[in-house]
Structure formats: C-alpha cells, structure tokens
C-alpha cells in the first residue's frame, strides 16, 4: 500500500520566529492522524501549510492523485490546487462560518461544491443535498434555510456535509468540535467516526482535546514550539507518553 | 482444527522502564527479561501479587506501552518494533483485548458497540448485529437496553457489554483482564464458557483472573510475573 500523503520537512517561519519546522510523516489510506499541542504550538500553522492555505518556507506535501499519481501539491499550479481542494481534499474549519457561505441556503451550500465539479442537474443536486442533510441529521425541511438560522452544532454538521458530498479522500479538520457543548460534540464525533469508516477517508485532525483524539485518531503527533516532539499509536502516546511535554499534557487532563 | 506447534504469542526478553520527566526524570524499571509463549488453543493465566506487573505485561502485548527492549511476536508481527498502522491491523484481525473498562463513543447503541469489531473487518451489518444480539442475550443484557448507549449502564452491565464486544469477532489471540470479576454465578459461567469455546476454535489466550476457581477451570498453566521483576529494584 502506498501512502496517500507524504510530508517531507515542512517549514514555516513568521519572520524569524518558527511557525513549524522539520515536520515529516506518511499518511496511509483510511488512517486518521491527530495533531495535538497547546495553543501556539504550531499545529494549526502546520495544517494550513499542508492544505495549501499558507505558503511554506520549504518542504514537500506529496499527494497520491487519482489520475497522475504522487505529486508535490506545493509546486502545483493554483488552478490545479484549487481543483484538488474541491474534489479529493476537504477542509473543516473550527468556526463553521469560515467554511460556509452564510448568505446561501443549506441546500445551496452543499450543492455549490457539486456544481464546482461539474454537476448541472438541479434535481440531482437537490436530491444529493437532502441526502447529505439526512446523513448529518439535519431535517429535510431546513434545506432552504440559511445557516444563519442554524445552531452552532447544526452549522458544523452542515459544514461537514458540504465538505464530504464530493467524496474526498483526505479531510483536514481544525478543532472540529471546539466551541461546541459536550452533548453536541459527542454527536459530531459519532457522526465523523461513522463517515470515516463508511467512506474510507483519511483525515488529519488538529485539536487540543485529548478525549477527541482518543476516540477518533489512529495515530498522534504531539507538537511544541513548532517542533514535533512525539509520534505514535494514539493509545500508546496517551497511556505511555515518552516526552516530557507529552507527559505534562496527558497528566494535566482532568478526569471525569 | 489442525494441531499447530508454533506459538501464537511469543514474548522474548521484554523489559519496560518508565521515565518520569516531570518528577526529576525518575527512572522506574518495572519489568525485565519477560519471556513466555502461548500456543493456539491454550490459555495461560498470569499470577503474582498486585503491582507485580500483570496489567503492565498485558499493555505491552497490546501495544499500549512501549517496550524498552525485547520482542513481542504475535502472528508474525513484533509489536515491540511495529508501526502504528501495523498494530492497528493486528488489533483488527488478530489480537483482541477485553479490558476492565468500557470506552465508547457516547450515543452509539449497545448493539452497535458490540458489533463494531465485526464491522471493522467488513462483516455485513445484519450478520454483525445478529452475532452481537446473540452475545448480549447470552450475557443477560435485557433486549430493551440494546438500542441505548451503554454509557448510562451499571458497572456490571458495562462489563458484560465489554465482554460481548471482546468476543464478537473470533480473534486468534486474546488478552483478558479480569473478565469474571464482579459477575454473578450465571454470567460468570457464561463467560467461562465463551473462553472454553474460544480455546476450542484455537485461540491463544493470556488472562488475569483473581477468581481462583475460574482460573483453575480455564487456564492450562500459570506464569508468575514476579519472576520478571527488575533485579536491581528487588
């Protein structure tokens, strides 16, 4: 099996400050990797570099494309990268309003991504939109409502539907459950786990919530001050952390 | 079942040390020279006083703890030196673990919690749910609870759900941590029966049983983990 994503020596500087540096890893099809660390550790910077939202100061992000095999996405042309962002890649933002078009209906938000990849039949698009609303547990009757009329948890589920409707192979998630209350979080986690298994998705999830990665991620990468300090199987990193910082992180979690 | 003479689980010279960086970098050696093997169809009981390292050894075998040295061969994979994805594959298809605690995603129904190990190896949903239902019935979980999440169940019920989940898929190797603790006589008999059945189909099992009569009934031999205590600390 070939890696779906091969990341080599990613580096990002903010002036002379390190955003992230020396980051390398392979992600295989169907694998979910969590990136944890406190705020300012460089985890969101890294995610945005990988997804092409930020320019990097070195490194490679090699994605195994469907038609042309492994290609470094950092040196792709802008139209190519944008196409990838609409088809095989998806990005779930922490704040749903950053990933949704707030002035467009729920159905329109889902349909837009389908139209971007060439779907033109209104009936098909609407059917797929309704189907996806159902999969993320939003009632069909809300299809013509704007996301401004939705709760935070519903907006987040709509953002996920909009991202997954085109059947991406790689999903980037930035604190997908952050800012939601716990019962809504649980529902979202359950939904994400089901979708990951059904669709065979690979995902990279940035979060500071260790309970979230325990349930969702196969492997973990722990970051501190822009560096990766520890990687491994999620259970192992959480049950037997090796690095001083990871030990501190794990022992700081309140038990419930 | 054809007789097999190569061990399913083969542990050679495993040691484990914890380094507590935030407590003056204290080095705590907890295990040294752990060596044991288990053949298909065999159940080996770990014994030793509380704190002797029975659970530590289980966690090393399952890959939750990183071995400092040695080899932990399970079905051809050395867990002590494997990539995360290789360990995950091993846990899906080869190595099962019934821990003392149930850890689940909230909101998932009991039936699906138990069926999940089967679904993750591609068993069709109907078949997986049938198997889950049959195990839950055997373990006396009332059918009206099957659609609910087990997070709200009593401790004993959660433990039985955990056992049902652990036995849903026929793993060739299994780790059982106190599977009969705090069960009533009837459920205890059911669990011992599940263990006997697993042995008959050829599973290699390592178990911790504080219940002496249970361990006499299912274990073929015992290993005292006190023998693996680090010499320096003794």
So what's the pLDDT on residue A20?
A: 97
So what's the pLDDT on residue B233?
A: 47
Q: How far is A121 from chain B (nearest CA, A)?
A: 33
So what's the pLDDT on residue A180?
A: 77
The mean per-residue pLDDT over the stretch B96-102 comes to 90
Q: How confident is the model at residue B232 (pLDDT cuts 50, 70, 90)?
A: low
Q: What are A149-163's pLDDT values in tens digits?
A: 999 989 999 999 999
Distance linking the first and last C-alpha atoms of chain B: 44
Please answer whether residues B45 and B216 qualify as being in contact, where contact means their C-beta atoms are separated by less than 8 angstroms. no
Sort out which chain A residues have CB atoms less than 8 A from B59's CB and list them: 239-240
Confirm or reject contact between A232 and chain B (CB < 8 A).
yes
Which of A21-35, B66-80, B97-111, B164-178 is predicted least confidently? Answer: B97-111
Interface test with A, best of B21, B57, B59 (most A CBs within 10 A): B21
Confirm or reject contact between A242 and chain B (CB < 8 A).
yes
Q: Is the pLDDT of residue B3 over 60?
A: no
The residue of chain B with its CA nearest to that of A239 is B64
- Token code pair at residue B79: 């867990």
Angle at which helix A152-164 crosses helix A106-116, to 10 degrees, equals 20
Q: Is A254 left (phi over 0), alpha (psi -120 to 50) or beta?
A: beta
- Among partner residues A189, A239, A248, which is closest to B22 by beta-carbon distance? A248
- A6 secondary structure, DSSP code: E
Whether residues B66 and A218 touch (CB distance < 8 A) is answered with no
So what's the pLDDT on residue A48?
A: 96
Sort out which chain B residues have CB atoms less than 8 A from A187's CB and list them: 107
- A255 secondary structure, DSSP code: P
Mean pLDDT rounded to a whole number for chain B: 93
CB-defined contacts A:B, below 8 A: 56
Q: Which value does ipTM take for this structure? A: 0.89
DSSP H/E element including B96: strand B95-98
The residue of chain A with its CA nearest to that of B87 is A233
The residue of chain B with its CA nearest to that of A249 is B22
Q: How far is B150 from chain A (nearest CA, A)?
A: 14
Domain boundaries of chain A, sorted by first residue: 97-167
Q: How far is A15 from chain B (nearest CA, A)?
A: 32
Residue with tokens 């971007």: A116
DSSP H/E element including A34: strand A32-36
Please work out, in degrees rounded to the nearest 5, the angle formed at the alpha carbon of residue A215 by the alpha carbons of A212 and A218.
Answer: 105
* Buried-exposed string B145-171: b where 16+ CB fall within 10 A, e elsewhere: bbeebbbebeeebbbbbbbbbbbbbeb
- Token code pair at residue B201: 């189909």
Torsion over CA: A195, A197, A198, A203 (sign) = positive
So what's the pLDDT on residue A157?
A: 92
- Token code pair at residue B17: 């040390």
So what's the pLDDT on residue A254?
A: 67
Q: How confident is the model at residue B182 (pLDDT cuts 50, 70, 90)?
A: confident
Exposed, middle or buried by CB within 10 Å (0-12, 13-18, 19+), for B194? buried
Interface test with A, best of B105, B109, B150 (most A CBs within 10 A): B105
DSSP H/E element including A153: helix A152-164
Confirm or reject contact between A144 and chain B (CB < 8 A).
no
Confirm or reject contact between B24 and chain A (CB < 8 A).
no
pLDDT along chain A (256 residues), means of 10: 94 96 95 92 96 95 94 93 91 93 95 89 93 92 96 92 92 87 76 81 92 90 96 95 94 71
Q: How confident is the model at residue B5 (pLDDT cuts 50, 70, 90)?
A: low
Q: How far is B178 from chain A (nearest CA, A)?
A: 19
pLDDT over 70 percentage in chain B: 97
The residue of chain B with its CA nearest to that of A1 is B85
Q: Is the pLDDT of residue B172 over 80?
A: yes
DSSP H/E element including A117: none
Q: Is the pLDDT of residue B196 over 80?
A: yes
Whether residues B64 and A240 touch (CB distance < 8 A) is answered with yes
Q: Is the pLDDT of residue B234 over 50?
A: no
- Token code pair at residue A249: 């992180």
- Token code pair at residue B140: 């006396």
Q: How far apart are CA B59 and CA A247, in angstroms?
A: 18
Residue with tokens 């594959």: B89
């Amino acid at each position: 099996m070939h890696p779906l994503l091969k990341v080599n020596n990613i580096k990002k500087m903010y002036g002379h400050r390190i955003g992230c540096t020396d980051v390398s890893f392979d992600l295989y099809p169907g694998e979910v990797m969590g990136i944890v660390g406190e705020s300012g550790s460089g985890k969101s910077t890294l995610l945005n570099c990988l997804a092409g939202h930020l320019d990097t100061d070195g490194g490679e992000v090699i994605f195994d494309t469907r038609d042309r095999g492994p290609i470094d996405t950092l040196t792709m042309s802008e139209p190519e990268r944008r196409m990838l962002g609409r088809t095989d890649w998806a990005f779930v933002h922490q704040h749903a309003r950053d990933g949704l078009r707030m002035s467009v209906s729920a159905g329109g938000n889902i349909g837009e991504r389908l139209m971007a990849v060439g779907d033109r039949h209104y009936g098909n698009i609407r059917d797929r939109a309704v189907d996806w609303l159902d999969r993320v547990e939003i009632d069909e009757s809300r299809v013509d409502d704007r996301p401004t009329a939705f709760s935070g948890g519903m907006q987040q589920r709509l953002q996920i539907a909009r991202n997954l409707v085109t059947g991406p192979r790689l999903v980037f998630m930035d604190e997908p459950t952050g800012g939601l209350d716990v019962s809504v979080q649980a529902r979202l986690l359950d939904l994400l786990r089901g979708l990951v298994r059904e669709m065979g998705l690979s995902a990279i999830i940035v979060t500071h919530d260790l309970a979230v990665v325990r349930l969702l991620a196969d492997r973990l990468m722990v970051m501190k001050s822009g560096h990766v300090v520890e990687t491994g199987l999620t259970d192992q990193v959480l049950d037997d952390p090796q690095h001083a910082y990871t030990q501190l992180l794990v022992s700081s979690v309140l038990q419930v | 079942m054809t007789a097999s003479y190569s061990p399913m689980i083969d542990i050679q010279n495993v040691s484990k040390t914890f380094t507590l960086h935030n407590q003056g970098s204290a080095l705590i050696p907890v295990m040294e020279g752990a060596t044991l093997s288990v053949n298909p169809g065999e159940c080996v009981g770990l014994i030793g006083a509380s704190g002797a390292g029975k659970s530590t050894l289980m966690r090393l075998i399952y890959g939750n703890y990183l071995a400092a040295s040695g080899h932990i061969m399970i079905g051809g994979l050395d867990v002590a030196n494997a990539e995360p994805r290789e360990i995950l594959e091993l846990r899906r298809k080869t190595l099962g673990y019934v821990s003392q605690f149930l850890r689940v995603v909230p909101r998932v129904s009991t039936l699906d919690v138990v069926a999940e190990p089967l679904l993750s190896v591609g068993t069709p949903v109907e078949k997986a749910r049938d198997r889950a239902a049959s195990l839950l019935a055997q373990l006396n979980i009332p059918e009206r609870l099957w659609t609910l999440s087990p997070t709200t169940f009593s401790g004993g019920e959660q433990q039985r759900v955990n056992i049902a989940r652990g036995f849903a898929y026929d793993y060739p190797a299994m780790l059982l941590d106190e599977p009969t603790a705090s069960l009533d006589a009837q459920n205890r008999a059911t669990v011992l029966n599940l263990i006997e059945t697993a042995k008959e189909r050829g599973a290699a099992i390592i178990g911790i049983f504080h219940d002496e009569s249970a361990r006499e009934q299912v274990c073929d031999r015992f290993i005292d983990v006190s023998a693996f205590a680090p010499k320096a600390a003794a």
